[in-house]
Amino acid sequence: MPARVIDGKRIAAEYREQVRQDAAAFTQRTGIVPHLVAVLVGDDPASAVYVRNKERACEQAGFKGTVHRLSAETSQAALLDLVARLNADPGVHGILVQSPLPKQIDPLAILDAVDPLKDVDAFHPENVGLIVQGRPRFLPCTPAGVQQLLIAEGIETAGKHAVVLGRSEIVGKPMALLLMQKGLAADATVTVCHSRTKDLASIVRQADLLIAAIGTAKFVTADMVKPGAVVIDVGINRGESGLVGDVDYGPVSEIASAITPVPGGVGPMTIAMLLRNTLTAARMRVRD
C-alpha cells in the first residue's frame, strides 16, 4: 500500500494562519508590529529566492519584513557593522543572515555577532545551549517544522527508533536534540548517521522514523527503508528534472507508511517556524 503523503504545504498554511492571528492580537494589545530583517550578501540565486519567500511570508502574516541586499564584495567588517546596528535597533525583533556567505566572510563570526534575543534562526551558541538543556528560547526552524508535521499527522514518536541521516548544524544535530527531548513529537531513541558511519544502510533500515538530511539527491533508496517507516525528506537538490529530495521518492513511497514530498513537504514549514520565532522575539521585548 502506497505511503500516506504528508502535505507540508497545507499544514504550513494552517500554521501560518494561526501565527497571523496571534500576531494581529499582539499588535492590537501593544501597538507593535513584529519586524524581521533579512540580510542577503551576494547574488546566489537560491538565496535570493529564499529571501523573497521570507519577505512575502512576513507581508502575509502582518509582519514588517526588511531585506538588506549587499554586494558580494562586502567585507566582514561592514557586515558586522550592519549586524551591530540591527542589534541596537529596538524596532527590529528578528535578524537572519542568509547563507551561504562570500568566502571573505567567516560565517561563525557573523552568527556569533547576532543578538541571541534576535537570533530567530536559533544558530547562536547561547540559543543552541538552551536547546540542549531542553529549555529553548527559539526552536531551530527546519527541525521544529518537522516536529509540527509529525504532530499534525498524529505520528507517534515516543519509544520509537529515529534515525537522523546527516549531522549539520542547521538540521541534523538540532533535529536529534529535539527528538530526544521530552514532549510531543519527541521521546524517541535517536541515532545520528553521517558520511563516516559504518554499514550505514543497515542502521538506516532499523528506523521507525527516518529524517533524511544528508544533502545528496535520492541517496535513500527503497532497500534502505524499513517497511512501514515514516520518512521525512529534508533534502532539497536541484537536478535536471527540477527539485528532488534526499529520498528516492517513488520506490520509497511504496514501502513507507508516510512520507514527505519534495517540494511541498518540510520546506514550507521552515518559513512558518521562522515567523513563529519572530513573534516570540517581539513578545519577549515587551514581556507579552
Taking the C-alpha atoms of residue 259 and residue 229, their distance in angstroms, rounded to an integer, is 9
Other beta carbons within 10 Å of 227: 10
Contact (CB, 8 A) for 227 and 211: no
Q: Which residues neighbour 213 within 8 Å (Cβ) at sequence distance 6 or greater?
A: 164, 165, 166, 168, 171, 172, 175, 234, 235, 246
H runs (alpha helix) in 42-159: 45-61, 76-88, 107-113, 125-132, 141-152
173 catalytic per annotation: no
Taking the C-alpha atoms of residue 199 and residue 53, their distance in angstroms, rounded to an integer, is 39
Of the candidates 22, 98, 119, 218, the residue annotated as catalytic is 98
Taking the C-alpha atoms of residue 144 and residue 104, their distance in angstroms, rounded to an integer, is 31
Of the candidates 22, 118, 119, 121, the residue annotated as catalytic is 121
Of the candidates 22, 54, 118, 246, the residue annotated as catalytic is 54
Give the closest residue to 185 by CA, choosing from 220, 144, 216. Answer: 144
Taking the C-alpha atoms of residue 141 and residue 220, their distance in angstroms, rounded to an integer, is 23
The answer to whether the bond into 100 is cis (omega within 30° of 0) is yes
Contact (CB, 8 A) for 185 and 147: yes
218 catalytic per annotation: no
54 catalytic per annotation: yes
- Which residues form the catalytic set? 54, 98, 121
